[in-house]
Structure 1
Amino acid sequence: MAEGGADPETEIKNRLQELVDQLYYFRDHYFESHSVEDAARKQYDVEQEMEKTMFQIEEMDDGWKNRAFFLMLKGKALNVTANYNMEAEELLSKAVKLDPSLVEAWNQLGEVYWKKMDVTSAKTCFLGALNHCKNKVSLRNLSMVMRQQRSQDADENSRNIMDSVKQAKQAVNMDPRDGTSWYILGNAYLSLFFCTGQNPKISQQALNAYLQAERVDKTASSNPDLHLNRATLCKYEETYQGALDGFSRAAALEPSWSEPVVREEQLLDYLGKLCGLINNKGKIRGKRLQNLLSTLSPTLLGHYGGSGGLQLKSLGALQPGKNAGCVVLGRVVFSLMPEERVPFTFGLVDAEGSCYAIMVYNMVESWGVLVTDSVTIPEPHLKQHNIQHKGQAFNFQSIRVDSPVRLLVNGKPQGPSTQASATVAYRPQSE
């Protein structure tokens, strides 16, 4: 026995655990001791800390170096970076063979496989950990894995995403103060939103989960993935200010990551082109435009008009939000397709000469409208945009259309074959 009655093995375990915990604290709380301007150095600094930690671990007495806990903590230290580490895989594999009940070793090994893009082996590890003990880390990691399992069967993919939400919820319920679990629940809801018809309630659940992650864990606000994924949702919801701010924040937190920079530039380009087209009413002006508008006949309202139908209103008379009981009619003066091809955007000018942007979602690729087409929109959902970002300002009005099936084009209904489900890409690798 050691002096004071302490167990030498316990002392070694505590010392090793302290070293590795300090390493992970340095990584996870990096921006509490560094500014965002240091973001480009973070990976290098974490690797330097890892090397210091590994040196201290190696100084431990050789008698402990074949113990499962020693191998697990050494493997965990090597697993602190975002990249796959072969030595970490070897050490953690040995640890679980020596002690199959070592839950943290299973979780760490699963994360190593995840970084290796071996989703099947990662799932096996997380299920192995849960077989020994229900724990939040395995549950939330399993949530990530379920979303990455791809099948040719759309129903099976939907079931996997539903299961992903279930696992993430269980992780949150086990520890509501864990920001990482809330963040992964947000990602699960994000996937569910895009695979089940874009229910606004699910969108709000995703946003609430991201917000809760930041509330309970101040390190969550330094997670570039959270900002990118939330910005993706904001863009789809046409909260363009939040989208631009999110892309910008993600880029600042991880300067080597090109995706948020590209997404921010694409959105700025789209908004700039859109405002220019709206202000100029496309390329149709003067007498030609007047002739087109003069032919906007009530017959183009189709089944939305007539006795007992919806009330025809001008674009300028609409109120923000859904305008129940109303219908608008106008001519297409331009179309614009963003880089991600969603939404299909066109400019609509009504009989009074107002020009608003129309944003159409969930359309098949072959669907579209042509310049000079008439378009009838029932119960239009109006949004007013006042966006300022990096010295640029964008001010315009838009109408959101969740499916082309709702529209009449040249007085004709758009059939069910014009509608398609939306898909979205978000960054899962380092959740």
Structure 2
Amino acid sequence: MSDQNGEEDLWAKVTKAVDDLYNLRDTYFPANPDEKVFVLQKESDLALNLLDSIPFEQRKLPMQRATYEYLRGKILDVIPDYRKEAEDHLSKAVKLNPSLADAWLCLGNSIWKKGDLLSAKNCLNLALSKGPNKKILCQLSMLERRMSQGAENQSELIEESIQHAKEAITLDVKDGHSWYNLGNACLTSFFVMGAWDHSKLLQSLKAYQNAEKDERMRSNPDLYFNCATVNKYLENYERALSGFEAAASKDPSLNANEEVKKILSLLDKLDILLKANAKAKRLASLASSLTAVNWTSSYKMASVDLLSEGLNKATAILGKVLSFVKHDSGTPLYYLLCDSDQICFILSVYGIRNDAIREGDQLTLLEPNYRYVNFSWNGKCYQFKSVRVDFLEQVLVNGKGLPANQAVCTSIHAQHKP
């Protein structure tokens, strides 16, 4: 009996060492990524030594051998790069014991690194066939997002990714990683569908907020980075800045500090433009040149100062384009406009080419989404009126709708990691 307990304890020690190794991979983010690889290699060598300390007679039966091959392959695969040795051991494990779901999962991950995405998906589906599993569903969801890049059935694969992410949550509604994965899937969908559907951004933000409730996820810098990305596109500038700074503090190797610089650079440009044009002599002539255009009677005319915070249904405003605001990110496009009351405001437009709207154009904005931006960052105060429209049909340029071919799907990669 004591020998059997000793055997079980040794296998348990190895299993814990492997779990600790992967926890290190997911929570250790030094400034130099090479240092992380070095530490993982060192710790994986120690785990392999512990695995090999299991006497041969305790790993000669087929089931024991399968577990040994699986653990060896999993330890070797902790390194970011593909290792054939890891794939070979994991392949042996599933041949010896095809019911080892986690071995199929690890094999799929290893083959994914090799670039054979279809074979990787087959492995994950085989893993899932052994029974419902949130880890496998999340990995399948991530792989489908990766497979969607450049695929003809891109939107179909993204929808599958979202569905698998939701299935994982139904298995454990408190699991932060599953919520994080759903957030990534919805954020990817936002871009794939043309960067217009803000409901996807809101779904993504809600998923990330649920992920943050899980203590284990608070060490994940990608969660903060991606949540900040959503806030950036929702134009929640202060939250975006805070999120990117938090991501940078958790993983210095991320380009999160660059994102902070980009947002601040944009805000500074907007601030300078607004101050320069607020009392410009040409505003009076530009405002007086605005002429009413024909639209359905269900829309009432308003000026910017009459808009309510949020969506203004059945409302339309006119604006003259004073300038296009160049900035480091491709989405959204920003313009400085003035209305008939000579009030300057910022317009953000998603999903169109940068030549669709030009300086001097008269814009009719239907059902504008209004926000008064007012916050301070590092001692500087940012205050401006901001208008967003969510669909191409809501923008009339010189009385005409935007041509359909002006719509564009951005190629921005939604998440920091797949």
Match of 1:165 in 2: 162
Q: Displacement, 1:104?
A: 1.3
2:280 to 285, 297, 301: 285
Q: Distance in 1 between matches of 2:376 and 2:83?
A: 43
Match of 2:294 in 1: 303
Give the 5 Å matches for 1:255-404: 255-258=252-255, 260-281=256-277, 285-286=280-281, 288-296=282-290, 300-304=291-295, 308=297, 310-370=299-359, 372-404=360-392
The verdict on how the C-alpha distance between 1:257 and 1:376 changes in structure 2, with shifts beyond 3 A counting, is same
Segment drifting more, 384-393 vs 166-175: 384-393
CA distance in 2, matches of 1:7, 1:94: 27
| Superposition map of 1:121-132 within 5 A | 121-132=119-130
- In structure 1, distance between residues paired with 2:354 and 2:321: 19
Letter in 1 for 2:221: P
Question: Whole-Å Cα distance in 2 between the matches of residues 48 and 90 of structure 1?
Answer: 21
Aligned in 2, Cα 1:343/1:165: closer, same or farther, shift over 3 Å?
A: same
Render the CA deviation track for 1:385-407: whole Å, top value 9, x for unaligned: 12434454422111002234322
Please give the alpha-carbon distance, in whole angstroms, between the structure 1 residues aligned to 2:31 and 2:317.
49
Q: In the alignment, what sits opposite 1:57?
A: 51
Number of residue equivalences: 413
Aligned positions of 1:20-419 closer than 5 A: 20-28=18-26, 44-64=38-58, 67-150=65-148, 154=152, 156-196=153-193, 198-215=196-213, 217-258=214-255, 260-281=256-277, 285-286=280-281, 288-296=282-290, 300-304=291-295, 308=297, 310-370=299-359, 372-419=360-407
What one-letter code is carried by the residue in structure 2 that aligns with 1:344?
Answer: L
CA pair 343-152 structure 1, distance change in 2 beyond 3 A: closer
Question: Following the alignment from structure 2 to structure 1, what is the Cα–Cα distance between the partners of residues 176 and 395?
Answer: 42
Residue 113 of structure 1 contacts residue 122 of structure 1 at CA under 8 Å; is this kept in 2? yes
CA contact (8 A) 1:39 1:253 kept: no
Residues in 2 aligned to 1:208 and 1:104: alpha-carbon distance in whole angstroms: 29
Taking a change above 3 Å as real, the CA distance of residues 243 and 145 of structure 1, as seen in their structure-2 partners, is same
* CA distance in 1 between partners of 2:69 and 2:295 (Å): 71
**1:65–1:71 contact (8 Å) kept in structure 2:** no
Structure-1-length-normalised TM-score: 0.85
Tell me the SS of whatever aligns to 2:292: helix
* Worse-superposed segment, 235-244 or 78-87: 78-87
1:208 Cα deviation from its structure 2 partner: 1.9
- Please state how far the C-alpha of 1:141 moved relative to its aligned partner: 0.9
Q: Which amino acid aligns with 2:177?
A: T
Superposed displacement of residue 157, structure 1: 1.6
Amino acid at match of 2:397: V
Q: Offset at 1:321?
A: 1.3
Distance 1:15 1:327, change over 3 A: closer
Structure 1 residue 369 displacement after superposition: 1.8
Farther-moved stretch of structure 1 (355-364 vs 129-138)? 129-138
How far 1:41 moved relative to its partner? 6.2
Q: Secondary structure at the match of 1:264?
A: helix
What is the letter of the counterpart of residue 280 of structure 2?
A: R
Cα RMSD between the aligned structures?
3.0
Kept in 2, the 8 Å contact 1:405–1:416? The answer is no
Percent identity reads: 34
Equivalents in 2 of 1:413, 1:59: separation in Å? 73
CA separation of 1:358 and 1:151: change in aligned 2, threshold 3 A: closer
CA-to-aligned-CA distance 1:288-317 (integer Å, 9 cap, x gap)? 333323323xxx321138xx4643333223
C-alpha change, 1:178 and 1:347, in structure 2 (3 Å) is same
Q: For the residues of structure 1 that align with 2:412 and 2:32, how far apart are their CA atoms?
A: 31
Distance 1:413 1:227 in 2: 38
Q: Decide whether the 8 Å contact of 1:344 with 1:368 is kept in 2.
A: no
Aligned pair in 2 of structure 1 residues 374, 51: CA closer, same or farther (>3 Å)? Answer: same
- 8 Å contact from structure 1 (residues 405, 419) kept in 2: no
Distance 1:15 1:292, change over 3 A: closer
Tell me, what secondary structure is at the counterpart of 2:293? Answer: helix
> Following TM superposition, by how much is the alpha carbon of 1:151 offset from its aligned partner in structure 2, in angstroms?
7.2
Structure 2 unaligned spans of 5+: none
Cα 1:418–1:22, aligned 2, differ >3 Å: closer, same or farther?
closer
Contact 1:224–1:253 (Cα < 8 Å) also in 2: yes
Could you give the per-residue CA deviations for residues 167-201 of structure 1, whole angstroms, max 9, x where no partner exists? 12222212223221221122122223333464444
Distance of aligned partners of 1:95 and 1:224 in 2 relative to their CA distance in 1, 3 Å threshold = same
Distance across 2 between alignment mates of 1:124 and 1:421: 29
Counterpart AA for 1:316: D
